[in-house]
Amino acid sequence: MNMNMTAVARKWPDIHPREFLVMAAVFWVALYWALAPASEALVAALPVDRASHLGGALQFFVYDTPKVLLLLTGIVFVMGMVNSAFTPERTRVLLAGRTEGVANVMAASLGVVTPFCSCSAVPLFIGFVQAGVPLGVTFSFLIAAPMVNEVALTLLFGLFGWRIALLYLGLGLSVAILAGWVIGRLKMEPYLEDWVRDMPRIVARADALRLTLSDRVEAGFAAVREIVGKVWPYVLVGIAIGAAIHGYVPETFMASFMGKDKWWAVPLAVIVGVPMYTNAAGVIPIVQALLAKGAALGTVLAFMMSVIALSLPETVILRKVLKVPLIATFVAVVTAGILLVGYVFNAVL
Amino acid sequence: MKNIKVLGTGCANCKNTIKLLEAVAHQKGVEIHVEKVEDIQAIMRYGIMSTPGVVIDEHVVHAGGVPSQSKVEGWLAGGDAS
């Protein structure tokens, strides 16, 4: 029964992908607009006073949860379709043989749209270096790919608004571009593991992709299954925390030790964040809690970046291809970049 | 019998790929031999840039992410029936 239903559900978009996309878009928009009145009605039907703390918290939860999940599903689906055109192999062709500078900018930007899983970091790294992508450019990609992606941006947009999402995008790309450029300037090639340096050079090429619209729709579905399926519990916890402290913890609670006027708040946030290992979604509940209670934005974004961009497991994986001085440089340069972001942010805003 | 190698450093997707391969093979009654390749140098010899990769009789047929069920069914159906 269940098998039959999924078979039918998968065949229809497959045969009529265009009609499916139009219908899905209409349905999505309708659902999105209906959310606010529907959540108000739902809370009104409950025996709680809408004006009370509890009423406010409930309204926040029943509105924000479907809103963020809907946004996430929609954007992950569209990005899944877009991403299907950016395989690592094609990205490598675009970057191979370019000189640094512009290539760092390209690499960081491609990192945003190329699907990337941290367990692929090593094969990707070797594949890039082997095809003659400069080391610093490779790092720009490797830093941007996990840190700046559609999940992080959607969650920031859904929970904190487009301004914070855009700032995160701009600053994340800046860190990736600058850190990669600096690593390139340091001429660290001797610190690749010997077997990596000795691998035969290859000419990057990628077969032309012939993706039909239904292939792309299929890729969109796959992305939703894989990403939303994994991420939704974190989103739920994040919003629940946001709702729970929606009036129960004093607004300025965090400001006393994570406010703008504390110069040591940024380094502390980064030092705590670097060894932590989680994805963009996992860190959202913490970000939610910190921001809601008056921690400075730059400090919180620096924390978020350090958690996502650098982690202990990743450095252990990279150790297979990099010698210790290069890993240390990588961690130091990225950390410095994130620190700078935190300070600049706190100073400007 | 098909010789299948799954290339990957041991992440969740690699394990899911192996499970899927075995499930489909079992369902179709195809005999397969699955070998896990976890050594990074061995993986890189196949020239893939994202894991998990799937190699059937020394041909790379897939790289990056868990393959779809229909894709796996295609691999196991195609080729010789020995």
Q: How far apart are CA A11 and CA A13, in angstroms?
A: 6
Q: How far apart are CA A285 and CA A236, in angstroms?
A: 9
- Give A 90-129 residues with CB within 8 A of chain B: 92, 115-117, 119-120, 122-124, 126-128
Query: pLDDT averaged over chain A?
Result: 81
Residue B51: its chain A contacts at CB < 8 A? 117, 119-120, 123
Closest C-alpha to A17, from A275, A299, A212: A212
State the pTM of this model. 0.80
- Residue A128 in this model has a pLDDT that exceeds 90: no
Name the residue in chain B with its Cα closest to that of A313. Answer: B11
The minimal CB distance from B50 to the residues A123, A202, A320 is found for A123
Q: Does B13 contact chain A (CB < 8 Å)?
A: yes
Q: Does A88 contact chain B (CB < 8 Å)?
A: yes
Percent residues over pLDDT 90 in chain A? 9
Query: Peptide bond preceding A115: is omega within 30 degrees of 0, i.e. cis?
Result: no
Q: Does B11 contact chain A (CB < 8 Å)?
A: yes
pLDDT digits (tens, 9 = 90+) for A312-344: 777 888 888 889 999 999 999 999 999 988 888
- Residue A251 in this model has a pLDDT that exceeds 80: no
Name the residue in chain B with its Cα closest to that of A204. Answer: B47
Q: Does the distance separating the beta carbons of A222 and B9 come in below 8 Å?
A: no
Whether ipTM tops 0.95, in short, is: no
Q: How far is A252 from chain B (nearest CA, A)?
A: 41
Task: Return the top range by mean pLDDT from A164-173, A195-204, A222-231, A271-280.
Answer: A164-173
Q: Which of B11, B37, B38, B49 to mutate to test the interface with A (most CBs of A within 10 A)?
A: B49
H or E element: which one contains B6?
A: strand B2-7
The minimal CB distance from B48 to the residues A123, A202, A218 is found for A123
Query: pLDDT averaged over chain B?
Result: 80
| pLDDT value at residue B80 | 45
User: For chain A, which residues make up each domain, given as ranges?
Assistant: 88-199+247-348
Q: Which residue type does A6 have?
A: T
The residue written with tokens 């708040």 in the block is A265
**Strand B32-37 and strand B2-7: pairing?**
parallel
Q: Does B17 contact chain A (CB < 8 Å)?
A: no
Q: How far is A209 from chain B (nearest CA, A)?
A: 14
Are the C-beta atoms of residues B11 and A117 closer than 8 Å to each other? yes
Confidence of residue B82 (pLDDT cuts 50, 70, 90): very low
Q: Computed from CA positions of residues A316, A317, A318, A319, in that sequence, does the dihedral angle turn out positive or negative?
A: positive
pLDDT digits (tens, 9 = 90+) for B15-37: 888 888 888 888 888 888 888 88
Name the residue in chain B with its Cα closest to that of A10. Answer: B70
Q: How far apart are CA A191 and CA A318, in angstroms?
A: 12
Are the C-beta atoms of residues A309 and A275 closer than 8 Å to each other? no
pLDDT digits (tens, 9 = 90+) for A61-109: 888 888 888 888 888 889 888 888 787 888 888 888 787 888 899 899 8
Q: Which two tokens stand for residue B80?
A: 């010789």
| pLDDT value at residue A182 | 92
Residue B41: its chain A contacts at CB < 8 A? 195
Q: How far is A101 from chain B (nearest CA, A)?
A: 24
Name the residue in chain B with its Cα closest to that of A92. Answer: B49
CB pairs under 8 A between A and B: 57
pLDDT digits (tens, 9 = 90+) for A190-247: 888 888 888 777 776 666 667 788 888 888 888 888 888 888 888 888 788 777 766 5
Q: Does A226 contact chain B (CB < 8 Å)?
A: yes
The minimal CB distance from A123 to the residues B49, B66, B68 is found for B49
Q: Does B42 contact chain A (CB < 8 Å)?
A: no
Q: How far apart are CA A276 and CA A106, in angstroms?
A: 28
Name the residue in chain B with its Cα closest to that of A129. Answer: B49
- Give A 307-346 residues with CB within 8 A of chain B: 317, 320-321
Name the residue in chain B with its Cα closest to that of A119. Answer: B11
Q: Does the distance separating the beta carbons of B49 and A89 come in below 8 Å?
A: yes
Q: Which residue type does A41 have?
A: A
Task: Return the top range by mean pLDDT from A132-136, A148-152, B50-54.
Answer: A132-136
The minimal CB distance from A126 to the residues B8, B11, B44 is found for B44
Task: Pick A224 or A279 by higher pLDDT.
Answer: A224
Residue A320: its chain B contacts at CB < 8 A? 40
| pLDDT value at residue B81 | 43
Going along chain B from its start, the domains and CATH numbers come out as: 2-67 (3.40.30.10)
